[in-house]
Amino acid sequence: MIGKNFDLIVEKKINSFNKTITVDSDKSISIRSILIGSISHNISQVNNILESEDVKSSIECLKKLGVKIVKKSKTYYVHGKGLGSLTAKKNTTLNFGNSGTLARLLVGILSTTPNIEVKLTGDHSLKKRNMRKLIILMTKFGATFYPKEKFNFPLKLISSRMPIGINYKAGVSAQLKSAVMFAGLNSFGKTNIFEKDISRDHTEKMLSVNQSALRIKKNPNKIIQINGKKKLKALKIKVSGDPSSAAFFCALTLIKKNSTMKILDVGLNPTRTGFYQLLKKHGANIKFKNLKKRNNEIVGDLEIKNSKLKPLKASKEYYVKATDEYPILFVLAALTKGTSIFKGIGDLANKESNRIREMQKILEQIGIKSAFKNDELKIFGKGLVEANSKKIRLKNLGDHRLCMSTFILATLTGAKAEIKNFETVNTSAPSFLKIMKKLGADYEIQK
């Protein structure tokens, strides 16, 4: 992995390619596996973990909370302390880095862990993100946050003295749903989560081996029932490739003429494949091959061929299954002739950056117009434009997915891109540049 603080210059088009690759391991599963391992009994084994900045932040936070985590070869051994057993000196600072996943999930665990009084912070991007919904939910469990009426980091958390289970109507956020699950695990009584809109379900899949602690019912909508104060079994997991990281290389292949790609061992959980489902519906030649079940998750290979796409029409139902992929979907829409429409995407404004506004700015720099109104974005695509005379400048937003999307856009169109603080990509996809080099992309690192 390249060291910290560097900018990237991209100014040459990529040539056609025919490659087989593996992508970085799944970030969502990597973070969850370490967190669940820490509150389980005995030693959990996590193989092929994503060694990114977000996962490093997770490990550092847990070590501050008294968890022993040891790496041997490619396996991490998490010495579980059991529910309610994490400890920290008063006013210990936990730094979540860039990770909203870590912030929400670990706050969920700590809110119902006895005698916790810690300071919470993150990098400049995470500090801008609104944590109001998380704070309101954890307050229902009895946790307290200071300063009062402040909804972004830095904050102080004092855990609940007598946590009682709650009823929660889940929305589109899998992170908030997981935070409630984690808080409920160490609360008295039952926590019921009513899920009308199905969101990412890695947490409940990992916890499903603990039938005394977690039950899932359909009535007719999904109800997750958490029974508090039950022992959790250790995990043994091999983490698959991240479908969100794979999406960028998939997009590149679809647009680049005469190109094909195979991506091996990718997680294809149905709650994560909205990107691929949407594109297949609009003419993309994408095939799922060699499907199998591992650790209660579907895993397989992706086969992708250059395709002629139709303008993308994404209803709001796609959002929850493709949240992380919308920036690269906007790039695909820009390079596909016709008007693409993305509905129900307002929550993108509270990601690492305002991903709607910032992607509009990026596309505008190569002459692609767009309009956002009433929770709906229209992109007026021009097809694969020649942009050799254009320049794209992306300032330091601390947003890994905007950095990668800008790179893909530049290397397809020939625009000269100057991407500030590209090191932020290491939060989720530390192998991105190495893979792009393997595919033949040309770029220059400026430290």
Distance CA 332, CA 286 (A): 15
Distance CA 177, CA 182 (A): 9
Nearest to 29, CA basis, from 377, 298, 231: 298
Using an 8 Å Cβ cutoff, are 314 and 341 in contact?
Answer: yes
93: left (phi over 0), alpha (psi -120 to 50) or beta: beta
Using an 8 Å Cβ cutoff, are 80 and 41 in contact?
Answer: yes
Using an 8 Å Cβ cutoff, are 53 and 27 in contact?
Answer: no
Neighbours of 196 (CB within 10 A): 10
Q: Which two tokens stand for residue 392?
A: 């794209």
Which residues are the active-site residues? Answer: 324
Spell out the alpha helix ranges (H) of 92-229.
Answer: 100-111, 124-127, 132-140, 174-185, 202-207
Distance CA 346, CA 353 (A): 13
Nearest to 166, CA basis, from 129, 204, 203, 193: 193
Using an 8 Å Cβ cutoff, are 208 and 225 in contact?
Answer: no
Distance CA 323, CA 319 (A): 5
Taking every pair of Cα atoms in the chain, the longest distance, rounded to a whole number of angstroms, is: 64
Using an 8 Å Cβ cutoff, are 440 and 22 in contact?
Answer: no
Q: Tokens 């009895």 — which residue? A: 142
Q: Which two tokens stand for residue 337?
A: 């002739």
State the DSSP code for 23. Answer: -
Instruction: Name residue 379's beta-bridge partners.
Output: 340, 370
